[in-house]
Structure 1
Amino acid sequence: MTRDERRVVSPWNIANVLTVLRLALVPFFVVCLFLPGTGWRYAALGVFGVASITDHLDGELARRYHLITDFGKIADPIADKALTGAALVSLSILNELPWWVTVVILGRELGITLLRFIVIRHGVIPASYGGKVKTVLQIAAIVLYLLPDMPDVIRWVAMGAALVVTVVTGVDYVIRAIRLRQVAKRARAE
């Protein structure tokens, strides 16, 4: 066992604090988004931007300084889904984003989360590069929807790209889960 494997990392570290901060910013983002006026819209955009930056920062800090914890592994994806989910649902409630887009994206997110829990006894399905691209595209598309007076065609192209990558990476996760389960069955049989 290496020294790093023996080292116990406290859940009270900067990476996890940033994750909790992101989760705590979600209600403030939603409130700002529903308040009338362009100023509040920019405030919502600012809160969403800060929360999105913490998504990148917490992971970077956790990896660089070996601050990865079980709490972080669970809380980080929850905070991510809470932020993007709140944005998508809010934009649909405001009739700025069709509900079917929100349903497809959130359905994929919930489905893959459940799939990961189902196959966890066989192994962990790590985040893929495509999953990271999906997150960046979703955030970029949401930012464009939050910007007042953004041309609809630009918003639709960005959200369309996010939607396609979301669905494709969802299919990829299903394939990876099936393969993981098959490998685990073969290993048990041997």
Structure 2
Amino acid sequence: MTSALPNVLTVLRLVAVPVMVAMLIADDGAHGAYRWAALALFAGAAATDFLDGYLARRWEVVSDFGKLADPIADKALVLAALAMLSVVDGLPWWPLALVAFREVYVTVGRLMVAGDVVIPASPGGKLKTFLQVVAIGLLMWPGAPGWLLAVGWWTLVVSTLIAVATGVDYAVRIARARRADPPQKGERRVPEAGAGGFQP
């Protein structure tokens, strides 16, 4: 059970996404109990992102499933929250559009080379996710004052710029992985970022 717990947390984060969306739809901009519940669910789901990675490394049970499913769960949670904030609160669509394009490109690119190479989340990508979580939490806060919403908005803008920058870095790493010689049978590679990349 210990070895499976990080992956279980990742799956639970995916399950939380449609529940959060349903709560925000039910609230319909009223900023009532459903909104608070959606915020609590979002915060809890986001916390599992940091917990599952920590446990996987601490228990040395990092898996290929976790390396692929964990960032996908992050993307689903963030994109769903941004989409609902755009629909319910009128949040501008352009951060969602840029982030969605970046996430789809990176995810598809990862899957294209997944048979030979595992490309894990980079530190820059993790910073982007952290800032997105903070921004969404502030923007989702029921009845938040204007200054708090402003902090949330500018945090979202910064995270979107980082998303674009890390997206370029992933694109380079994916392209290098596709050009590289195929690995020997049973071998899996984890490519390093080049100069200027976000991977240490």
Give TM class, smaller chain: 0.7 to 0.9
Distance in 1 (CA, whole Å) between partners of 2:23 and 2:91 is: 17
1:183 Cα deviation after fit = 4.2
Unmatched segments (≥5 aa) in structure 2: 183-200
Identity in percent? 45
Aligned to 1:69: 63
Q: CA RMSD in A?
A: 2.3
**Larger-gyration structure (1/2):** 1
Asked whether the equivalents of residues 11 and 69 of structure 1 are also in contact (C-alpha less than 8 Å), the reply is no
The structure 2 residue matched to 1:86, chosen from 66, 69, 80, is: 80
Asked whether the equivalents of residues 29 and 44 of structure 1 are also in contact (C-alpha less than 8 Å), the reply is yes
Query: Kindly tell me: are residues 38 and 178 of structure 1, through their superposed partners in 2, closer, same or farther at Cα, counting changes over 3 Å?
Result: same
- Which structure: greater helix fraction? 1
2:73 partner letter: A
1:60 Cα deviation after fit = 0.9
Deviations 1:129-178 (A, max 9, x none): 10110110111111111013242422221111111100011011112223
Query: Kindly tell me: are residues 12 and 179 of structure 1, through their superposed partners in 2, closer, same or farther at Cα, counting changes over 3 Å?
Result: closer
Deviations 1:38-78 (A, max 9, x none): 32222111110000001111111111112223433333222
Write out aligned runs for 1:37-116 (5 A). 37-116=31-110
Asked whether the equivalents of residues 30 and 86 of structure 1 are also in contact (C-alpha less than 8 Å), the reply is yes
Distance in 2 (CA, whole Å) between partners of 1:131 and 1:164 is: 11
1:11 Cα deviation after fit = 9.5
1:13 Cα deviation after fit = 1.7
The structure 2 residue matched to 1:27, chosen from 15, 18, 21, is: 18
Alignment of 1:16 with 2:10, yes or no, is no
Runs of at least 4 residues of structure 1 off by over 3 A? 119-122, 179-185
Aligned positions, number: 177
